[in-house]
Amino acid sequence: MRAPAQAPLLLPHTLTEVTGPLLGEGRVTAADADLTHHAGGEAQGQRIIVHGQVRDSDGRPVPDTLVEVWQANAGGRYLHKWDQHDSPIDPHFLGVGRALTDSVGRYRFVTIKPGAYPWRNHFNAWRPAHIHFSVFGRAFTQRLVTQMYFPDDPLFPHDPIYNSVPEAARHRMVSRFDLAETVEEWALGFEFDIVLRGREATPMEES
């Protein structure tokens, strides 16, 4: 009952659409990119490092853009009043982080691998482990909210949200295990690059 029934009308790109909010200055600290410590203790679960580069579809890095993430804890539970999943809340994990990309569009988070969780969409429905990502880009047209998945998740064939994207494009939502970024005896590395719309991109994204 939520998706509009009528086809969207084409909006020409004017100054309003080719500009966009420049955010983060004074809003983000280095500590915001570490999700593993809260309330004087360390979060439970498998430590991971998620990093990548934000570029536009013309291949240009997107510097100084705000990347926001939110996710479930290691047991697949969100710190939210509506989440009643029977899995413990972790008092040391809020599941929210922020970072700005650097001068070449790179970002890096330290967090905990989120668990899969049931969501009652259909019988025995479990969402694959994922981290929600929000990126602004440099223009109103580049705004993106997506979800990052983990390689080879056995739940992919059963998840309507993952499968809402055309098959050929799904792999672009899946991170890559990254041994080079893995820190010995401490955390696994995953690489997740993000590509926003370019200046000349048509509305036919995800093709």
Residue of 18, 47, 21, 49 lying closest to 141 (CA atoms):
18
Residue of 30, 22, 51 lying closest to 136 (CA atoms):
22
Residue 140 beta carbon to another protein: minimum distance, rounded to whole angstroms: 5
Q: Does 194 bind another protein (CB under 8 A)?
A: yes
Q: Does 196 bind another protein (CB under 8 A)?
A: yes
Q: Does 153 bind another protein (CB under 8 A)?
A: no
The full 3-state SS of 21-70, as one line of letters, equals CCCCCCCCCHHHHECCEECCEECCCCEEEEEEEEEECCCCECCCCEEEEE
Active-site annotation holds for 117? yes
Q: Does 120 bind another protein (CB under 8 A)?
A: no
Residue from 50, 99, 173, 187 binding another protein (CB under 8 A): 173
Residue from 28, 125, 155, 161 binding another protein (CB under 8 A): 161
**Rg of the chain over CA atoms, in angstroms?**
18
Residue 152 beta carbon to another protein: minimum distance, rounded to whole angstroms: 19
Cβ nearer to another protein, comparing 9 with 180: 9
**51, 98, 127, 138: the active-site residue:** 127
